[in-house]
Amino acid sequence: MNQHPEIDSTRIMADLMADPAFRGLADGIPVDDDDPTTPAPSKVGDKLRLDQVRLSHRQRNRHTVTRDGRGAANCAAIIGRLPKPGEVLHIVTDGSYTGADAIPAILTLADAPAAEVLISTLSFSRANVDLLAQMLLERQIRRLTLLANIYFRRTAGNEAIYTYAEQELDPDRAVIVSPRVHAKIILLRTTAGHHITIEGSANLRSCLSVEQLTITDDPGLYRFHRQWLRHVVKITQEQTA
């Protein structure tokens, strides 16, 4: 006979989500509900004026490819090959590689430099900055736009990393901003004509966790994300000028 009372998982999760400290566990970024600069959830889109952007993209007849990337020798081996037009590549990794590792891996598989790279991430590391700075220096990346969540920039210990990025990334060819955006997206347009979109759970830096990635080579999807990301960059620059 079971002597344990039934567990009310709904109540437990409700109690946990009501605790600001629990909601702030991701990436060690604290949540401050009393912060007067924190807009209400429904107002974030208003602050970034997302209503000014008309977004639409539809792609039919996609072919799905799944890949188990656990234990792969390197990030290029995880990806294997670039997706074909109309193909969507879904990958699960074991946390051995960071989101940033996908950038040189994609360019190696494309055998071409990137005319443009746009990145939206919650956080990044000094090692990520060093990688991007080197790729800019070597012209593997011609233009770079980096969006990192404002919570990351404000958190003790991460402020120095953000400042390091501002100092190390070539200001003539790189833009870095910190809006209230939680999306994890990497866009790469190569000089060979690829329009790669990487969507998934991974930040640029590692959090030693299982991650998933979705990779496509689709000009329409690329433009879809590029449009709203560039809009957010523009509004953020105007509001912080």
Helix ranges (DSSP H) in 60-119? 75-79, 102-110
Region 50-69: mean pLDDT is 62
pLDDT tens-place string over residues 7-26: 454 555 555 455 554 444 44
Rounded CA gap, 46 and 60, in Å? Answer: 32
Q: Calculate the dihedral angle through the C-alpha atoms of 40, 42, 48, 52, rounding to the nearest 10 degrees.
A: -160
**What are the sequence ranges of the domains in the chain?**
47-240
Compute the average pLDDT of residues 98-112: 92
| pLDDT at residue 199, as a whole number | 95
- Which residue in the block uniquely carries the two structure tokens 């924190």? 38
Provide CATH code, domain 47-240. 3.30.870.10
Per residue in 134-157, pLDDT (tens digit) is 999 999 999 999 999 999 999 888
* Alpha carbons 95 and 92: distance in angstroms, whole number: 9
User: Are β-strands 144-148 and 63-68 bridged in parallel, bridged antiparallel, or unpaired?
Assistant: unpaired
The Cα 181–Cα 44 span in angstroms is: 9
The residue-averaged pLDDT of 49-78 equals 64
